[in-house]
Amino acid sequence: MKEGPDIARVAALIGDPARANILTALMTGKALTASELAEEAGVTPQTASAHLAKLQDSGLLTQRRQGRHRYFALASGDVAQVLEGLMALATVSGHLRSRPGPRDPALRRARVCYNHLAGEAGTQLYDALIGAGHITVAGDDLTLTEHGAARIRGFGIDMDGLTRARAPVCRACLDWSERRTHLAGSLGRALLARIEELGWARRAEATRVLAFSAAGDRAFAAFLTDIGRPENSAVSKASAP
């Protein structure tokens, strides 16, 4: 018997269509009830309970109780990163759903990937930070520079709080629709929260879509231009549109 991680077991758990739908539904970062996940998976509540038990036992999901309800969520950002990577692989390999639906363009533009910004908007943000030298790349490791930290602080984000957190500040995540990298980690989470706090975008109900308003689109574009200037040491304060 070979030793090492049992990727076949994890792959089999994710590979079931109903369980894959459950995991994908939780990519919004929002906890859902068993009945909500049964509807997402297209199975009966009894079948969903069996799937949820397997996913929880395997460490892919966590559960918490509140009153009579049980709420399920992805166990960690690592699970979300694996799922996003599999979506990218499925796209490259041509394994696409036969009914993409009218929301695809919106999903490709901007969406929530567990707790950070993904889609075209996510890769644009990542490219701006890398291009300006605010984040450096060494292999798989991303590092926020001192100048980058100052720019992020000027956007209204508590950098001291981010550096005290256990989670990595910067982390690369493969974007399934763009097939390039977007930013995860505690900084990616904080940037998404700040964008929502400023009112530039809001989460569409029951989907992963992050819908930018017209004013929010302009403000986000201006922010990308401003943060993408490595020669500009002045930090401008972000303001709501």
The tens digit of pLDDT for each residue in 190-221 reads: 999 999 999 999 998 778 899 999 999 999 99
181 contacts 174 by C-beta, under 8 angstroms: yes
CATH code matching the domain that covers 7-75, chosen among 2.60.40.10, 1.20.272.10, 1.10.10.10, 3.40.50.1110: 1.10.10.10
**Which single residue is written with the structure tokens 């690592």?**
78
Residue 55 and residue 224: Cα distance in Å, rounded?
Answer: 39
SS3 190: helix
Q: Kindly give, in sequence order, each residue whose CB lies less than 8 Å from that of residue 219, ignoring residues fewer than 6 positions away.
A: 198, 200, 240, 241
How many angstroms separate the CA atoms of 226 and 57, rounded? 46
* N residues, the chain: 241
Average of per-residue pLDDT values in the chain: 85
Query: Where does CATH 1.10.10.10 sit in the chain?
Result: 7-75
Q: pTM of the entire structure?
A: 0.67
Q: Which residues of the chain have pLDDT under 70?
A: 1-4, 92-103, 231-241
Listed residue (111, 123, 70) closest to 202, CA to CA: 111
